[in-house]
């Protein structure tokens, strides 16, 4: 996170999510990157915290860039894949959705998409809520939604 150009600060999850210095760092950040791990653990640490509120404030008021890798990418959306099976065919019990951090609306993101053969899981998630777009991402993939234009730009290495 930025306090001055080219400066990065790390905020660890847990009790620091409520501390005023972490809130101040988040509020002045131009970019916020959420690491991987496990989606539900990330949400348990970040979700509903002062830092989470401040992330939304930085995003909405100043246009801070929000990004993540692996579980961090999946947690960015409002609809988050919390659990999924390794079924090769869609099944109504293949995916369980939970509430994510809420930066992307009407999108559910599944990571390690091709590598872990997650098409059936993502299709099952979208079938639970047909108003969402399923977005499968892999290594070297980024998405840049333009909320005002209903456009999604996908950047990937070929």
Domain boundaries, the chain: 1-68, 76-158
> What are 28's two structure tokens?
């002045």
Q: Which residues are catalytic?
A: 70, 112, 139
CB-CB contact of 65 with 31 (8 Å): yes
Under DSSP, is residue 2 helix (H, G, I), strand (E, B) or coil?
coil
Q: How far is CA 57 from CA 21, 51, 60, 132, in A?
A: 16, 10, 5, 24
Write out the two tokens for 87.
């079924």
pLDDT of residue 57: 94
Query: Burial letters for 63-88: b for 16+ Cβ neighbours within 10 Å, e otherwise?
Result: ebebebebbbbbbbbbbbbbebeebe
In a structure prediction context, what are the per-residue pLDDT tens digits for the chain, which is 158 residues long?
444 556 677 777 766 677 888 889 898 888 888 888 888 888 998 999 999 999 999 999 988 888 888 999 999 999 998 888 787 777 777 888 999 999 999 999 998 888 888 888 899 999 988 888 898 888 877 666 654 344 444 444 44
What pLDDT score does 2 carry? 42
């Amino acid at each position: 996170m930025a306090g001055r150009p080219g400066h990065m600060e790390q905020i660890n999850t847990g009790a620091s999510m409520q501390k005023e210095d972490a809130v101040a760092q988040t509020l002045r950040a131009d970019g916020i990157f959420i690491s991987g791990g496990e989606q539900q653990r990330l949400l348990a640490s970040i979700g509903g915290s002062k830092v989470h509120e401040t992330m939304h404030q930085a995003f909405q008021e100043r246009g801070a860039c929000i990004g993540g890798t692996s579980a961090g990418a999946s947690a960015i959306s409002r609809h988050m894949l919390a659990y999924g099976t390794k079924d090769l065919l869609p099944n109504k019990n293949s995916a369980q959705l939970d509430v994510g951090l809420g930066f992307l609306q009407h999108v559910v993101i599944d990571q390690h998409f091709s590598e872990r053969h997650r098409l059936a899981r993502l299709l099952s998630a979208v079938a639970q809520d047909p108003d969402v777009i399923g977005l499968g991402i892999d290594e070297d993939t980024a998405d840049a939604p333009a909320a005002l234009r209903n456009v999604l730009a996908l950047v990937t290495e070929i």
